[in-house]
Amino acid sequence: MNEAEFARVALPHLDAAYTLARWLLRDPVAAEDVVQDAMLRALTYFAGFRGTNARAWLLQIVRNTAYARMAQRRGVQEEPLDPDGKHEHLADPGGDPEAALQGAEVVSALHRALAALPAELRECVVLRELEEMSYRDIARVTGVPAGTVMSRLFRARQMLLRIGRDAGAKERTA
Amino acid sequence: MTDATASFPPAGVPPACEEMQLLIQADLDGELDAAATAVLAAHLRDCAGCAALQRELANLSGRLHAELRPEAAPASLRRALEARLAPAAAAPPAPGGFRRRLAPLLSFGAGAAIAASLALMLPRTGADPDGELVAGHIRALQPGHLTDVASSDQHTVKPWFDGRIDYAPPVMDFVAQGFPLVGGRLDYIGGRPVAALVYRRDKHPIDLFVWPSQGSAEPVMDTRNGYNVLRWARDGMAFRAVSDLNAKELADFARLWQGAS
Ligand SMILES: [Zn+2]
């Protein structure tokens, strides 16, 4: 197990790893914890790494570690899969639990909308729009076929568009 | 998962437009080939609805790029990992809370006890990885869950795993010996995707879980919940065969693998 080699391959992707964990867990402390955990696991798997696309390889481990953590803590209110209920909550900028995502920073409506998507949809948007990964790499990270990535991305974007339209309509009538 | 998402455009999307939606998206994501791009361009010239969708999606992507940025990992996290992974691994222990979190890493040391790494190859399984494998097998026995890729052709099953897991499991067919390959699937064991090859002996399905690991080549039989679990290792891969097949025939199956080259 070559730790220096692992550091050379994995550490350049630490920001990407943290970004994904942060968006999945929606909690900076848990995200840091999960990334540490994932790096530890990645180190143990490193012998089996075939040397292609370290970022997708590492993010896959981060993603699985984050999902295991979310399953452990159902209390974090993961996967309610109730988009309508969530949209109502989103349309109200007051009492914003997602503000914690960015500390004291002002969080945009779009940011909150993304944070409220189901995890399977949210991760596709994060990997595509923030990490600019290809469908193929997103498929690798999320463990589903590329066709599923495409349909999840499309559903996610439809939901974000609809939230934007709903918010706009609310503003106009207010 | 119920899809409560409103389709777009809202009312009565014609079938042709439904097909165009994923093309519009793929085009914006830089994933469309030239032929499909031409088809899409022709459609967009004539369809105001799809043209509007294209504008909306492009606008959304622009806003996501402008408003959301990848986050920098906390400096404390980076420092702790760098210190841990530096060649001079005798680096001072990370401060504060990291000491606890990094304790398992630090125990790896230069000599890296193989036993420790083995224990970590199937993380989060608790004391009973075999139990979890059997649970995976039982889940897969639900109708329609046995295989993600149904094929008796090892040259179809093997590449199916490519890109889905970060290792290449060996795939063999033993139809001549009475253990035909049925297909493969991805299972999650301890939160980690693991390759499961599916075989049949008469009416008994056999799940063969494979993941990279060292271990004893000698087969060891175990039982969990009435299922036989046979484990062995070769060529850097750990194997677990799980089935309700009797122990003798399951051992025959393991011998075929061990004799195969
Ligand atoms: Zn159209």
pLDDT of residue B144: 61
- To test the contact with chain B by mutation, choose from A6, A36, A105, A127 the residue with the greatest count of B C-beta atoms within 10 A, namely A36
| CATH number of the domain located at residue range(s) A97-174 in this protein | 1.10.10.10
B73·A60 Cβ contact <8 A: no
pLDDT band at A20 (very low <50, low <70, confident <90, very high): very high
In Å, what is the CA distance from B120 to each residue of A41, A134, A164, B124, B193? 7, 30, 45, 8, 14
Averaged pLDDT score across all residues of chain A: 82
* A1-75 and A97-174 share one fold: no
Q: Which of A148 and A91 is assigned the larger pLDDT?
A: A148
Residues in chain B closer than 8 A to A84 (CB atoms):
4
Q: Considering only alpha carbons, which residue of chain B is nearest residue A65?
A: B191
B65·A129 Cβ contact <8 A: yes
pLDDT tens digit sequence for A72-116: 876 544 444 333 333 333 323 333 444 444 443 557 889 999 999
d(CA B120, CA B136): 19
**Domain range annotation of chain A:** 1-75, 97-174
Q: Is the pLDDT of residue B31 over 70?
A: yes
Mean pLDDT throughout B85-110?
40
Highest mean pLDDT among B3-7, B135-139, B201-205: B201-205
Distance from CA of A174 to the nearest CA of B (A): 23
Q: Is the pLDDT of residue B125 over 70?
A: no
Q: Which of residues 67-86 of B touch A (CB under 8 A)?
A: 67-74, 76-78, 80-82, 84-86
pLDDT band at B143 (very low <50, low <70, confident <90, very high): low
Q: Is the pLDDT of residue B204 over 80?
A: yes
Mean pLDDT throughout B86-103?
41
Give the domains, in start order, of chain B with CATH numbers. Answer: 15-121 (no CATH), 129-260 (3.30.200.100)
Q: Which of B40, B59, B60, B62 is nearest to B50 (CA)?
A: B40
A83·B4 Cβ contact <8 A: yes
Q: Is the pLDDT of residue B52 over 90?
A: yes
Mean pLDDT throughout A3-15?
93
Q: Is the pLDDT of residue B118 over 80?
A: no
Ligand 1 center from residue B18 Cα (angstroms): 7
Residues in chain A closer than 8 A to B56 (CB atoms):
161
A125·B64 Cβ contact <8 A: yes
Q: Is A170 on the interface with B (CB under 8 A)?
A: no
If you classify domain A1-75 with CATH, what class do you get? mainly alpha
Highest mean pLDDT among A85-99, B107-121, B132-146, B176-190: B176-190
d(CA B90, CA A106): 42
In Å, what is the CA distance from B86 to each residue of A115, B81, B106, B170? 35, 8, 12, 34
Q: Which of B144 and B91 is assigned the larger pLDDT?
A: B144
Q: Which of A118 and A78 is assigned the larger pLDDT?
A: A118
Q: Is B61 on the interface with A (CB under 8 A)?
A: yes
Q: Which of B256 and B103 is assigned the larger pLDDT?
A: B256
pLDDT tens digit sequence for A31-83: 999 999 999 899 988 988 877 899 999 999 999 999 999 998 765 444 443 33
Q: Which of residues 21-50 of B touch A (CB under 8 A)?
A: 21-22, 25-26, 29, 31
